[in-house]
Amino acid sequence: MELSRVSGHGPSEWWIEPHGEMRVPVVVYATESLVREMDEKVLEQACNVASLPGIVKAAYAMPDAHWGYGFPIGGVAAFDEEEGVISAGGVGFDISCGVRLLETPLTREQLEPLKELLANALYHAVPVGVGSRGRLHLDEAGLDAMLAGGARWAVERGFGTAADLPRIEEGGCMAGARPEYVSMRARQRQADEMGTLGSGNHYLEVQHVVHVEDAALAEAYGLREGQVVVSIHCGSRGLGHQIGTEYLREMAVEAAKHGIHLPDRELACAPIRSRVGQEYLGAMRAGINCALANRQIITHLVREVFERVTGVRELRLLFDVSHNTCKEEEHEVDGRRRRLFVHRKGATRAFGPGHPDLPAELRAVGQPVLIGGSMGTASYVLAGTRESEARAFSSSAHGAGRCKSRHEALREWRGRELVESLRRQGILIRSPSLRGVAEEAPGAYKDVVEVVDAAEEAGLSHKVARLEPLACIKG
């Protein structure tokens, strides 16, 4: 976009003052070159968000913001509990899509001779791709229990351990879930999908810590150079997609009834206090639990494979972050504590040191923020900062974001050649679809380093360690 559209407000911070229907400014956190690369549509969409009723302070765009539907992806917006709205479009279809990181006691050298075996075993154990089914079939009662209990339900069923739970947002169980507001169709899409990875940009990746950026924080997080770790990126599967589809439509149809003008129908929202607003909140929270349970089951499958292949079963969960959510949180606004409904669409919650919601062992250092890349590109572990609270309601970036469309990627790369060239770089790819691999080519994504540097410069989060892939299971 043209830089003339925004005004500089400090390092990596750009503003658009309210105009037209906007109630608050738009604030973009990004380096100058990231702003130049951003699609004009990001600004247009952020300005639309800034015009919604009850929005507080500003509509924010994270350094990896790109053109979404309704809200930009990489968008953050908080709404007043009395006058504000909740937006199904502001959460997105893949409710609580997120990343978790498991730490192994292994070094890269120890893993190297077993890498091929491990990649094959992981690919065999974790269902991936279109049409795959999980090994667990849930009946109605099982679905209800899962939707109410999240990762806590999964642990009770023997997937992972109770020690995992404090390392997941909300202690692994999102309160206020109302399974009764999740439709039959959403349930039918999920009955056989628990413990499946999905497709697209989702992945299961074995990585190693190549560089520690902050020694004290890395130690607090249990990370050291050369260490093997595992990242899991996936979401709430068919259930979340169906909840998003149904409530988005209902909110779009009913907006006028609530006196809400939608500049783009995909912004579909409803007053938080309305019937549809409350029902969506209950269903969306159940969707969050579905995603947390799903990642917990996959974690269990990964641990089983590691034990079988390497003899190591102790894979400690560093943290599990969710990207597409709306959460009720308390934040300070103009010197006053307020209850707000914070939408993060393609953005990571990033609580700083001292936050009461963090588990005791992380409270002094802040929440781990996981920024994912996959196949050929690096991932980063960052830490939440105190300043982030004032900057963007404790939020940070979530990934690199695409710079080439799927069609451009298909024209530029061949799946088989990519797999071979990554193998020569020491990175094993396992996927049921070579076309899928080509569409997700590392070159189709922006440079994650620039996104991470911008997040650091803007005070949204602080760099702890850089991870690079060893083996990647793609859907």
Partner 1 sequence: MLGDSVQRTTHHSAPEGGTRWGHLRHGSDIGVWGRGRTKEEAFEQAGVALCAVVTEPERVAPREAVEVRCEAPDEELLFADWLNALIYEMSARRMLFSRFQVRLEGNRLEGRAWGEPVEVARHEPAVEVKAATLTELEVRREPDGQWRAQCVVDV
The least distance separating partner 1 from the CB of residue 86, rounded to whole angstroms, comes to: 17
3-class secondary structure per residue, the chain: CCHHHCEECCCCEEEECCCCCCCCCEEEECCHHHHHHCCHHHHHHHHHHCCCCCEEEEEEEEEEEEEEECEEEEEEEEEECCCCEEEHHHHCCCCCCEEEEEEEEEEHHHHHHHHHHHHHHHHHHCCCCCCCCCCCCCCHHHHHHHHHHHHHHHHHCCCCCHHHHHHEHHHHCCCCCCHHHCCHHHHHHHCCCCCCCCCCCCEEEEEEEEEECCHHHHHHHCCCCCEEEEEEEECCHHHHHHHHHHHHHHHHHHHHHHCCCCCCHHHCEEECCCHHHHHHHHHHHHHHHHHHHHHHHHHHHHHHHHHHHHCCCCCEEEEEEECEEEEEEEEEECCEEEEEEEEEECCEECCCCCCCCCCHHHHCCCCEEEEECCCCCCEEEEEECCHHHHHHCCEECCECCECCCHHHHHHHCCHHHHHHHHHHCCCEEECCCHHHHHHCCHHHECCHHHHHHHHHHCCCEEEEEEEEEEEEEEC
Of these, 164, 266, 456, 468, which contacts partner 1 (CB under 8 A)?
Answer: 266
- 190 or 227: CB nearest partner 1: 190
Query: Considering only 91-99, 155-163, 366-374, 418-426, which stretch makes contact with partner 1 by CB under 8 A?
Result: 91-99
φ, ψ dihedrals at 375, nearest 5°: 60, -95
Q: Which of 5, 57, 189, 258 binds partner 1 (CB under 8 A)?
A: 189
Q: Which stretch binds partner 1 (CB under 8 A): 26-34, 153-161, 351-359, 397-405?
A: 397-405
Instruction: Rank residues 44 and 279 by Cβ distance to partner 1 and give the closer one.
Output: 44
244 makes contact with partner 1 (CB under 8 A): yes
Give the one residue of 19, 336, 407, 424 binding partner 1; rule: CB under 8 A: 407
The smaller minimum CB distance to partner 1, of residues 159 and 280, is found at 280
Could you tell me whether strands 13-16 and 85-87 are parallel, antiparallel, or unpaired per DSSP bridges?
Answer: unpaired
* 257 versus 313: smaller Cβ distance to partner 1: 257
Please report whether residue 336 would count as binding partner 1 according to CB under 8 A.
Answer: no
Q: Name residues contacting partner 1, limited to 194-213 (CB under 8 A).
A: 198-200
Q: Which is nearer to partner 1, 37 or 357 (CB)?
A: 37
Tell me which stretch binds partner 1 (CB under 8 A): 13-21, 260-268, 314-322, 328-336: 260-268
Query: What angle separates helix 115-125 from helix 275-310, to the nearest 10 degrees?
Result: 140
Question: Contact letters (x/-) for partner 1, 92-131, by CB under 8 A?
Answer: xxx----------------------------------xxx
Supply the residues annotated as catalytic.
Answer: 398
Based on the shown chain and the rule CB under 8 A, indicate whether residue 285 belongs to the binding site for partner 1.
no
Question: Measured between alpha carbons, how far is 45 from 211 in angstroms, rounded to an integer?
Answer: 36
Q: Return the structure tokens found at 463.
A: 């760099």
State the nearest-atom distance from the C-beta of 336 to partner 1, in Å.
36
Q: Is there binding between residue 433 and partner 1 (CB under 8 A)?
A: yes
Contacts (CB under 8 A) with partner 1, residues 218-237:
none
241 binding partner 1? (CB under 8 A): yes
Nearer CB in complex with partner 1: 89/179: 89
CB of 435 to partner 1, least distance (A): 4
Query: Is 2 a residue that touches partner 1 (CB under 8 A)?
Result: no
Could you say whether residue 324 binds partner 1 (CB under 8 A)?
no
Q: Which stretch binds partner 1 (CB under 8 A): 25-33, 39-47, 148-156, 360-368?
A: 39-47
Spatial CA neighbour of 206 closest among 308, 322, 129, 303: 303
Tell the smallest beta-carbon distance from residue 27 to partner 1 (Å).
20
Number of residues that bind partner 1 (CB under 8 A): 49
200 vs 368, beta carbon nearer partner 1: 200
188 lies in the binding site for partner 1 (CB under 8 A): yes
Q: Is 434 in the site for partner 1 (CB under 8 A)?
A: yes
Q: In whole angstroms, give the CA distance from residue 247 to residue 330.
A: 25
Residues that bind partner 1 (CB under 8 A): 39-41, 66-70, 73, 89, 92-94, 129-131, 133, 185, 188-189, 198-200, 238, 241-242, 244-245, 248-249, 252-253, 264-266, 268, 401-402, 405-408, 432-436, 439, 475
